[in-house]
Homo-oligomer: A and B are copies of this chain.
Amino acid sequence: MKEKNHLQIQDFLPYLLNRAAENTSLDFQKTYKDRYGMLRTEWRVLFHLGRYGDLTAKQICTMADLHKTKVSRAVSALERQRFLERTRVPTDRRNELLSLTKQGQAAFGHLQTEATRYHETLVASFTVEEQAILQKCLKQLANFS
């Protein structure tokens, strides 16, 4: 005679996360799509290179949690648009080191500013403590399982 205490499904975390992710990502996309013709994955690769310096595709896969196919295609697109260049690593010629061009660095600089601004509007109504908890929880969920 036990009533199961079910989660209200509209509170289901993966569902909420998806909605929040899609909503904010589509919104921010306006910032880079029209001006730089980038896709979401490309912007993600770009900002890893801007933030962490030269990396191999494999390193980006690991850090950004992206499949190597996605990274491969994003790198090709960014290269075609002259946002980055590749150089083979002589000591292990399977790797190629990816570096932003001047143009790529300029785009990164601009988008970093815009991202900062956008992030701040997103969290504007949250307290500092709430922001910290949100960050903590999301980072844990991003690495869960």
Interface residues of A (CB under 8 A from B): 4-25, 27-28, 40, 44, 47-48, 50-51, 65, 112-113, 115-116, 118-120, 122-123, 125-126, 130, 133-145
**In the complex this chain forms, how many copies of it are found?**
2
Q: Roughly how many angstroms separate A87 CA and B15 CA in the complex, as a whole number? A: 28
Prevailing SS type, chain A contact patch? helix
Q: Which residues of B contact A119 (CB under 8 A)?
A: 7, 11-13
Nearest 3 A-B pairs (CB), nearest first?
A17-B21, A19-B142, A20-B141
CA A28 – CA B123 in complex, angstroms? 28
When the two chains form their complex, are residues B113 and A144 in contact, meaning their CB atoms are under 8 A apart?
no
Cβ 8 A contact of A9, one of B20, B115, B136: B115
* Complex Cα–Cα for A20 and B17 (A): 7
